Chain A
Amino acid sequence: MTDSPAQSVRVDAGLCQSTGYCARIAPTVFHVPEGGPAEVIDDHPAAELADALREAEDACPAAAIRVTAAAR
């Protein structure tokens, strides 16, 4: 499990299917290395990214992303 320090975005590495969908929606927050799993690369996502983070959470095929209320 990768946590940002603010605990606002999490990726469950055990669930991640390495689709890269999250990085396509929010490329400044997620990075998916070859073979995955996805990593959270922005420890402090800006408030204006809240909608994109929500969309990344919703669109993740593996339901591996959790965005806490603090980021919304």
Chain B
Amino acid sequence: MPGGRDPRHRRRAVSGESGVSRPTVEREDRDIGLQAALVQPALNGSWGVPPSRMTRISSFAEVDEVFKSKDFAQAGNGHGDGAVIYGKTLISLSGDDHFERRRVESVLFRKESLLRYETEILEVALTLALDECVAGRDADGVVRADLVTLLPSVILRVSSNLVGLDGLDDRARFDRLRSLVPKLGEGAAAQYTFRDHAEVIREAREARDIFVSEFFRPAWERRAAMIAASARGELAGSEIPVDLITIMIRNPGHFTKWDDEVYANEAILYIVASSGNPTSRAMDAMANLQDWLHEHPEDLARVEDPEFLRLALTESLRLKMGVPFQVRRAVRDTVLTSSGRAFSEGDYVALEHGFASRDAELFGADADRYDLRRTPPSFGFAFGGGPHTCNGKGMSIGEPNARGDAPLGLLVRIIGRLFAAGLRLDPARPPRLRPDTIRNEWSSFPVLLEKL
């Protein structure tokens, strides 16, 4: 790009007048204003909607109202170019179809399931990953890791269990699955790429074919056989795992409303949606928390407290969304109560939820500031809103845990384990953003683990 550095990236703001403290390790940032400048080309190109039928809104009240309104349907995720992977999935549906899908899959997200993912899978995967880091200790005695490599692998252990994929104790097989995730993720978010969309979609289809033949179909056939054996009285029902694939097999009345693509796409949804964005947001949170602790050493002792870590994560999530906008389509003529803004049936609206999550009307004049003293804490629209509130929310951030029996949240646990391992951003290798997408995802995030 002429004129020097690509304006889509810049160093994090460090000006004193903005109230932002100097980061301990300067890192690339895609400023929210710069990201917003990229919205319209994406809207025009990927959705094919003329600007006259697409309204951009960014106030908290309007975004909140549209997210919750039954007058608007999902038109973003799973629509446009991203339909190649997310089409027909939960995230793409609206109305009764969305309700039914959410209902049949809800058992995957009940408290007992979340606790099992955390304690039986995540903690084990983290221990193994950190052991590998120690085994790879550098010649200078320092343990280094790149979280862009480490975290998606750890999370994939959880998501593959939720979906019901088999044989992943075989490291080569797990690595094969791991290698497919970036291409699948690119296809699912093809609306946001700077690359040639047709090429991204072609690569995603190839990855999808491999996923289906090597991982999804064998798992499906094994579970179908188990369910049949159970029906014949040859296998106890308790022997059949509770995972997405068994749920899909057992709910044909719902899933056969779509063609056969729905099954693998639904599985890929959970594999992909749990990987890129959540792990990058966890990296943001760790960087922000490191900066905060540098400025507020009185909080150092609190990093062992999950409630404090959840607070640190929550405030970080509010300030950085994975994508700059969500898209909805008016299904009937309607007027927003919060603003009086009118929409005709068929109009599109781009919800700039990143701006809405920094709305000074709600969060005050210092809304852009990372502040762990902010009350009440809010993650803004980090998990979307309305029916499409991310069903990974509870899995990611858990819930207040006064009785000690609630899920802590996968990301809370990850941050806690890494800080306990002495996490510090590598000052010699600042994190880098992916240059090929509007999405806020890291391409490298090197850290030191100084207590290992």
**Are A24 and B99 in contact, CB atoms less than 8 angstroms apart?**
yes
Chain B CB within 8 A of A19 CB: yes
B103 touches A21 (CB 8 A): yes
Given A58-B107, A59-B103, A63-B393, CB of A21 within 8 Å of CB of B399: no
Interchain CB contact under 8 A, A61 and B103: no
Interface size (B, Cβ < 8 Å)?
A: 19
Chain B interface mostly:
helix
Q: How far is the CB of A57 from chain B (nearest CB, A)?
A: 8
A17, B107: Cβ atoms closer than 8 Å: no
Known: A19-B386, A19-B387. A61 touches B102 (CB 8 A): yes
In the bound complex, residues from chain B placing their C-beta under 8 Å from that of A59 are 99, 102-103, 106
Given contacts A17-B68, A17-B385, A21-B387, contact A63 B399 (CB under 8 A): yes
- The answer to whether B182 has its CB under 8 Å from any CB of chain A is no
- What chain B residues lie within 8 Å of A24 (beta carbons)? 99
Give the residues in chain A near B109, CB-CB below 8 Å: 58
* Cβ of B419 under 8 Å from chain A: no
Tell whether A6 is near chain B: CB-to-CB under 8 Å: no
CA distance A36 to B387 in the complex (A): 13
Residues of A near B110 (CB, < 8 A) are 54, 57-58
Residues of A within 8 A of B386 (CB): 17-19, 61
Q: Does A55 contact B (CB under 8 A)?
A: yes
List the A side residues contacting B103 at CB < 8 Å: 21, 25, 55, 59
Chain B: minimal CB distance from A12 (Å): 10
Report B401 CB to chain A, min CB distance, Å. Answer: 13
| A15 to B: closest C-beta gap in Å | 9
- A58 CA / B110 CA spacing, docked (Å): 5
Task: Determine if B107 and A61 form an interchain contact, defined as CB atoms under 8 angstroms apart.
Answer: no
A62 at the interface (CB under 8 A from B): yes
Contact with B along A24-51 (1 / 0, CB 8 A): 1100000000011000000000000000
Q: Answer yes or no: B388 CB below 8 A from chain A CBs.
A: yes
Determine the distance from Cα of A63 to Cα of B389 in the docked complex, in whole angstroms. 9
24 sampled A-B residue pairs with Cβ under 8 A: A17-B68, A17-B385, A17-B386, A18-B68, A18-B386, A19-B99, A19-B387, A21-B99, A21-B103, A24-B99, A25-B103, A35-B337, A36-B68, A55-B103, A58-B107, A59-B99, A59-B103, A59-B106, A61-B386, A61-B387, A61-B391, A62-B389, A62-B393, A63-B394
| Residues of chain B whose beta carbon lies under 8 Å from any beta carbon of chain A | 67-68, 99, 102-103, 106-107, 109-110, 337, 385-389, 391, 393-394, 399
